[in-house]
Structure 1
Amino acid sequence: MKKRFPAALALTATAALALAGCSDPGAGGGSSEPASWPAQDTDLSGTTLTIWAAQNSNTVPDSVVAGFEELTGATVDVVTIPDPYEQSIQTKVATGDKPDLAFWQPTASQLTALNASENLQVLDDAPWLEAYDPALRDITGILDDTRYAALITTPAVQGVYYNKQVFADAGITDVPADWDELLTVARQLKSSGETPFFDFGGGTPWATQWWVQVQLADAAEDGLWDRVNAGEEAFTDPTIQGAINTYNDLIGEGLFNANLKTATFEDQGPALLSGDAAMAVQVNSFFGQLQSLAETPELDEKIGFFPIAPSGNVGTFIPDQSNALVAFKTGDAGREAAARQLLSYWLGDGYADFVEAQDTVSLQTGVPTPDGVPQALLDVSASLGDSVGSMQALAIVNPDLYLNLGDMIQGTQTPTQVAEATQAQFAELAKAIGASGF
């Protein structure tokens, strides 16, 4: 699998307010059905399509583009948009600059950020929908009961990657079955001289938020983000504030790497693979880093995965921009149809070659997952069926929780200030998109 690193996992206030100033994501003339779904092999000689991609997804379409160009005679240009990817695209779209297709985080909040009903083609009744694993078909990509995004790879899951050998050497034979058992194992490892958890606060500490969100899995299942979206509950209320406090307490307890304040993402994979740390709470992109460091046999021997939540082994899913594509309304009916045709090919005749080229888990019941996919990645995919949505998946907007948690690690914000700053930004973003209650 090719390396996949997150470009930007949260919608920032600056980008969101800039977009809101150019067009109101809550306004618009509703959606319309696509005119047709052309046959995959329809001749497209003389047609040029553009796909926008991030620096971590710009090689993902390679096998699909090659096959589609040969089959149809079309030309497909993949254009890399500089990071921060999401913010850059929002700015371009707000000024009327649109591609034919783009990689995009297929969550309701990020579809709202693109003003989906005005700017994106509707993908309802697409010919490839029935091919999806039923558990994944409707997990994301939908806003206001309308499908705007095509899922091409399994959404990322927040959970625990662990070093099997470190566990075995410590006499740990079973993975923790819930949050309390996770902490019991961590303390057991610390008492034997091991570093239980590896995290990073240097640079952009995007993974800090996973520590809060996995603690919120049960609350998310119980409607937490619906209440936050309606202004009925806040980051400063006991549920989210408590999760922030717990994360801070675990840091204070010494359960993390000694260089937490200065460590980076690039340090995390080698630490877990070598056994310098026993566990990391992470998402799929982290496993992409591990795959750049070791082959599948070594990964299967050393690295395992389990989802975690307060009540049990429940994952928290968080689709990112490398998981899905959106097709834009460009005003050119021919190119819009060609974009739909490319999606039909990608998730049709081209899909088996795609998953083979990416060495990734198949979304489709009729396309087998390649033999070389590591077991941990298979376990991640298996956890999706009963997973719950993350803040990114369920909140109407996504404040920079991770940056505030990074400040907490550096000692420039208290846990209380983290919640206050995050809530203030959430309210500002929600007001900018016209959400009621703000």
Structure 2
Amino acid sequence: MKRTLAALLLIFGLAACSDPGAGESATDPSAITWPEATAKLDGVKLTIWAAQNSNTVPKKVIEGFQAATGASVEVVTIPDPYEQGIQTKVATGDKPDLAFWQPTASMLTAINARTNLQPLEGAPWLSSLNPDLRDITGILDGTRYAALVTSPAVEGVYYNKEVFAAHGVKPATDFDNLVELARGLKAKGVTPFHEMGADRWATQWWVQVQLADAAKAGLWDRINSGQEKFTDATVLDAIKRYDALIEEGLFNSDIKTAKFEDQGTALLDGKAAMAVQVNSFFGQLQAKADTATLDKKIGFFPIAPSGNVGTFIPDQSNALVAFKTGDATREAAARQLLTYWMGPGYQDFITDRNTVSLQTAVANPPGVPQALLDVHAAVGASAGSMQALAVANPDLYLNLADMIAGTMTPAQVAEATQKQFEQLAKAAGHLK
């Protein structure tokens, strides 16, 4: 948390000292030009920053783009924690041409999009996107800064179909029903849920799915404005219930030490019936099993207190941003690469990744697993996550992991998260 806040403060400090009229930083978004996707770029070199779980995503696109244009593109892997690493680098003036980045309001704010990123208004591929997804993310203060390339992640329940069938269980219809279902499985000797307490980052999904209805009713607007806090009943009660479910023994016995890799293995092997997770979890499953096996074993359903409602949380593997580097040729080439990616290279891209198409005129590849199609189908009606709708993204997951480890109470989790939120929001100018 200290590194995140320090990087954010440094980014905004440098922005205050910069010349707003320098280079393309002052470019009117409506004046941005978009080169043809396959225009020649001989001698131009571009760099893309990626995380460990996204560094292979652009492989097919890069191959096609280099062959078509003569440009060279290098992918540089930034070690985890990815977002903190990029914020620190950018704060000191080190920028790539493009980077995978979480396209939410809080994370676009964290990278100081207005100063550091190229606006993507008028991008030629926007008219081809599914209207339900076109403006769901990537926009800050009315300006588009991120290009969505894969379906936004959705928080929901992945489950083992064979375990469900063996015990006569069907997908839950709401959160209370999910708990009842879990208790029934436990009574039959099945571990209902698996959690990766050691790797920590997924702990927050359990709280956020409980907040889906509140999010649709304006929870994050109220927290953004200070009218409501993480310490108030809405969020605190969700934290308390998560803690109570853990204490009840509805999770894996090694919850404190289990990691992300363990979670995928446990679900595939039927050692746990369910995991509350996002799309990157299914990417891990795809690395462990083929589509036929996944269709046989793995299902997905969204969940919320009121019913089967998902919570969308686009992550850094879903979108790219293009940086203002001060080099007009490279900035234009970065926009051209995005145009190629979402234009001539798009069909090859989704086929290579075996993932869902975001474009109405481009069909899904034939091998997309059903669970992934079900996740995508949940996006349109889903609620916004904290990351999508809050003006700042505090370390809720770290605090919840400390709760699992026994070093924080639910009340302390809420208090620490609220304090961090206020620090970040004030640094970004959203709270006084």
TM class by smaller structure: over 0.9
Specify whether residues 427 and 267 from structure 1 end up closer, same or farther in structure 2 by C-alpha distance, changes over 3 A only: same
* Deviations 1:235-290, CA, capped at 9 Å, x for gaps: 00000000000001111111111111111111111111111111100011111111
Match of 2:4 among 9, 12, 24: 12
The answer on whether the counterparts of 2:223 and 2:390 sit within 8 Å (CA) in structure 1 is yes
Q: What are the residue-to-residue correspondences of 1:184-199 with 2, within 5 Å?
A: 184-199=180-195
Matching residue's letter, 2:112: N
- Where in structure 2 are there 5+ consecutive unaligned residues? none
Distance 1:114 1:171 in 2: 48
| 1:68 paired residue number | 65
The answer on whether the counterparts of 1:225 and 1:394 sit within 8 Å (CA) in structure 2 is yes
The answer on whether the counterparts of 2:221 and 2:390 sit within 8 Å (CA) in structure 1 is yes
* Deviations 1:166-225, CA, capped at 9 Å, x for gaps: 1111112x31111111111111111111111111212x3111100000000000000100
Distance 1:332 1:409 in 2: 48
Residue 422 of structure 1 aligns to a residue whose secondary structure is helix
| 1:347 paired residue number | 342
Does residue 44 of the first structure (1) align with residue 52 of the second (2)?
no
Displacement of 1:22 in angstroms is: 3.4
| 1:200 paired residue number | 196
Distance 1:97 1:12 in 2: 16
* Deviations 1:10-60, CA, capped at 9 Å, x for gaps: 9933433343343359x9677622431111121111211111111221121
Distance 2:351 2:246 in 1: 41
| 2:172 paired residue number | 176
Distance 1:14 1:252 in 2: 35
| 1:120 paired residue number | 117
Match of 2:265 among 270, 277, 282: 270
Matching residue's letter, 2:33: S
| 2:94 paired residue number | 97
Distance 2:11 2:215 in 1: 28
Distance 1:11 1:180 in 2: 38
| 1:416 paired residue number | 411
Matching residue's letter, 2:340: Y
The answer on whether the counterparts of 2:7 and 2:91 sit within 8 Å (CA) in structure 1 is no
Residue 261 of structure 1 aligns to a residue whose secondary structure is coil
Matching residue's letter, 1:128: W
More off after superposition, 14-23 vs 35-44: 14-23
More off after superposition, 88-97 vs 28-37: 28-37
Specify whether residues 112 and 387 from structure 1 end up closer, same or farther in structure 2 by C-alpha distance, changes over 3 A only: same
Residue 198 of structure 1 aligns to a residue whose secondary structure is coil
Residue 285 of structure 2 aligns to a residue whose secondary structure is helix
Q: What are the residue-to-residue correspondences of 1:271-310 with 2, within 5 Å?
A: 271-310=266-305
| 1:385 paired residue number | 380
* Deviations 1:349-371, CA, capped at 9 Å, x for gaps: 00000001111111111111111
Residue 403 of structure 1 aligns to a residue whose secondary structure is helix
| 1:111 paired residue number | 108
The answer on whether the counterparts of 1:179 and 1:312 sit within 8 Å (CA) in structure 2 is yes
Q: What are the residue-to-residue correspondences of 1:158-177 with 2, within 5 Å?
A: 158-172=155-169, 174-177=170-173
The answer on whether the counterparts of 1:12 and 1:400 sit within 8 Å (CA) in structure 2 is no
Displacement of 1:295 in angstroms is: 1.0
| 2:398 paired residue number | 403
Matching residue's letter, 2:189: G
Distance 2:364 2:382 in 1: 21
| 1:5 paired residue number | none
More off after superposition, 243-252 vs 73-82: 73-82
Distance 1:293 1:123 in 2: 36
Does residue 218 of the first structure (1) align with residue 175 of the second (2)?
no
Specify whether residues 377 and 11 from structure 1 end up closer, same or farther in structure 2 by C-alpha distance, changes over 3 A only: farther
Displacement of 1:82 in angstroms is: 2.1
Matching residue's letter, 2:290: E
More off after superposition, 84-93 vs 210-219: 84-93
- Where in structure 1 are there 5+ consecutive unaligned residues? 1-7
Does residue 329 of the first structure (1) align with residue 329 of the second (2)?
no
The answer on whether the counterparts of 2:4 and 2:87 sit within 8 Å (CA) in structure 1 is no
Distance 1:293 1:100 in 2: 33
**How many residues get paired?**
427
Distance 1:165 1:279 in 2: 11
User: Percent identity at matched positions?
Assistant: 67
Does residue 253 of the first structure (1) align with residue 248 of the second (2)?
yes
Residue 147 of structure 2 aligns to a residue whose secondary structure is strand
The answer on whether the counterparts of 2:79 and 2:85 sit within 8 Å (CA) in structure 1 is yes
Does residue 434 of the first structure (1) align with residue 429 of the second (2)?
yes
The answer on whether the counterparts of 1:31 and 1:118 sit within 8 Å (CA) in structure 2 is no
Distance 1:420 1:128 in 2: 43
The answer on whether the counterparts of 2:11 and 2:112 sit within 8 Å (CA) in structure 1 is no
The answer on whether the counterparts of 1:101 and 1:327 sit within 8 Å (CA) in structure 2 is yes
Distance 1:11 1:291 in 2: 33
The answer on whether the counterparts of 1:12 and 1:399 sit within 8 Å (CA) in structure 2 is no
Distance 2:165 2:40 in 1: 58
Displacement of 1:419 in angstroms is: 0.4
Q: TM-score, normalised by structure 2?
A: 0.95
RMSD in angstroms over aligned alpha carbons?
A: 1.9
Displacement of 1:147 in angstroms is: 0.5
* Deviations 1:100-137, CA, capped at 9 Å, x for gaps: 11111101111111211111111111110011111111
Residue 150 of structure 1 aligns to a residue whose secondary structure is strand
Distance 2:86 2:16 in 1: 16
Residue 399 of structure 1 aligns to a residue whose secondary structure is coil
Displacement of 1:318 in angstroms is: 0.6
Residue 201 of structure 2 aligns to a residue whose secondary structure is coil
Distance 2:20 2:417 in 1: 29
| 1:244 paired residue number | 239
More off after superposition, 329-338 vs 100-109: 329-338
